[in-house]
Structure 1
Amino acid sequence: MLDQLFNPSVQHVIDLVGIFVFAISGALLAVRKNFDVFGIAVLAEVTALGGGLLRDLIIGAVPPAAFSDLGYFLTPLLAALLVFFLHPEVERIQVGANIFDAAGLGLFCVAGTVRAYDYGLGLTSSAALGLATAVGGGVLRDVLANEVPSLLRWDRDLYAVPAIVGATMVALCIRYDVLNAFTSGLAVVTAFVLRLLAMRYHWRAPRAWHRRSTAIEVPE
Structure 2
Amino acid sequence: MVTASAALLLADLTGVAIFAASGASAAVAKRLDLFGVVFVGFVAALGGGIFRDLVIDEAPPLAFADWRYAVTAAVTAAAVFWLHPQLARLRTTVLVLDAAGLALFTVTGTLTALHAGMPPVGACVIGMLTGIGGGLGRDLLTGEIPVVLRREIYAVAALVGAVAVVALDRAGLAGPGPLTVAALFVFVVRLVALRRRWSAPVAAERSAREPLPDRSGPDEP
TM-score (norm 2): 0.83
Give distance in 2, aligned partners of 1:42 and 1:105.
Answer: 19
Among 19, 24, 49, the residue aligned to 1:22 = 19
The 5-angstrom pairing of residues 79-118 of structure 1 reads 79-92=76-89, 95=92, 98-118=95-115
CA offsets, 1:127-170, max 9 Å, x none?
A: 0110111110111122222322111022xx42222111100112
Change (3 A) 1:144 1:104: closer
The 5-angstrom pairing of residues 129-168 of structure 1 reads 129-154=126-151, 157-168=152-163
Cα shift at 1:16: 1.8
SS of 1:35 mapped into structure 2: coil
Aligned sequence identity (%):
41
Q: Does 1:211 align with 2:208?
A: no
Is the 8 Å Cα contact of residues 21 and 80 (structure 2) preserved in structure 1? yes
Q: Does 1:72 align with 2:64?
A: no
Instruction: Mark the runs of 5 or more structure 1 residues left unpaired by the alignment.
Output: 215-220
Change (3 A) 1:91 1:19: farther
Is the 8 Å Cα contact of residues 170 and 179 (structure 1) preserved in structure 2? no
Change (3 A) 1:100 1:25: closer
2:215 corresponds to which residue? none
Give distance in 1, aligned partners of 2:207 and 2:110.
Answer: 36
Q: Does 1:173 align with 2:205?
A: no
2:56 corresponds to which residue? 59
Q: Does 1:189 align with 2:184?
A: yes
Give distance in 2, aligned partners of 1:32 and 1:97.
Answer: 10
Give distance in 2, aligned partners of 1:143 and 1:55.
Answer: 19
When structure 1 is superposed on structure 2, of 121-130 and 188-197 the one drifting more is 188-197
CA offsets, 1:160-202, max 9 Å, x none?
A: 221111001122334x434422443332222122112112212
Cα shift at 1:30: 1.4
1:8 corresponds to which residue? 5
TM-score (norm 1): 0.83
CA offsets, 1:46-70, max 9 Å, x none?
A: 0000001100011111111111211
Is the 8 Å Cα contact of residues 26 and 94 (structure 2) preserved in structure 1? no
Change (3 A) 1:122 1:52: same
Cα shift at 1:94: 5.8
Give distance in 1, aligned partners of 2:51 and 2:190.
Answer: 23
